[in-house]
Amino acid sequence: MRGITLWLLLSATVSAQTRYARLGEIDGSAEMQIHPAEPWKPGLRNTPLRESSWVRTGGASHAEIELDEGSVLRLADNSVCELADYTRLSTGQRITHISLDRGIAYFSGESNWRDALILSMPSAQVSIRRGSRVRLEAGVDFSQLAVLEGEVRFSSAAIELDVPEGKMLKIDPARSDKFYLLPEVAPLDSDAWSLTRDKLLVGDASRNRLPGLHYGLRDLDAHGEWIDTAEFGIAWKPNAGEGWARADVCAGSMVAPRSASSVPRAKAPANPCQLVHSEGPNRRQGPPARCPADYSFGSQITSSCVKA
Q: Is the pLDDT of residue 206 over 90?
A: no
Same domain, 110 and 153: yes
Residue 6: inside a domain? no
Answer whether residue 298 shows pLDDT above 50: no
First to last CA, the chain: 56
Q: Is the residue at 146 inside a domain?
A: yes
Among 141, 169, 202, the domain boundary falls at: 202
Higher pLDDT, 236 or 2: 236
Burial degree of 191 (CB within 10 A; 0-12, 13-18, 19+): middle
Q: In terms of pLDDT, which residue wins out, 223 or 5?
A: 223
Q: Using the predicted structure, report yes or no on whether residue 49 has a pLDDT greater than 60.
A: yes
Please check whether residues 181 and 214 belong to one and the same domain: no
Q: Does 58 share its domain with 87?
A: yes
Query: Does an H or E element contain 267, and which?
Result: none
The SS3 call for residue 26 is strand
Mean pLDDT of 145-165: 95
**Which domain does 251 fall in, by range?**
209-308
> In the prediction, which pLDDT does 283 show?
41
Q: Are residues 46 and 153 in the same domain?
A: yes
Find the helix or strand (DSSP H, E) in which 150 lies: none
Q: For 69-89, what is the mean pLDDT?
A: 96
User: Among 203, 229, 236, which Cα is nearest to 218's?
Assistant: 203
Instruction: Place 76 in a pLDDT band, splitting at 50, 70 and 90.
Output: very high
For residues 74 and 106, the answer to whether their CB atoms sit within 8 Å is yes
pLDDT of 275 strictly over 80: no
Whether the per-residue pLDDT at 126 is higher than 90: the answer is yes
pLDDT of residue 281: 41
Residues 220 and 268 in one domain: yes
Q: Tell me the residue type at 161.
A: L
Give the rounded percent of residues in the chain with a pLDDT score beyond 70: 72
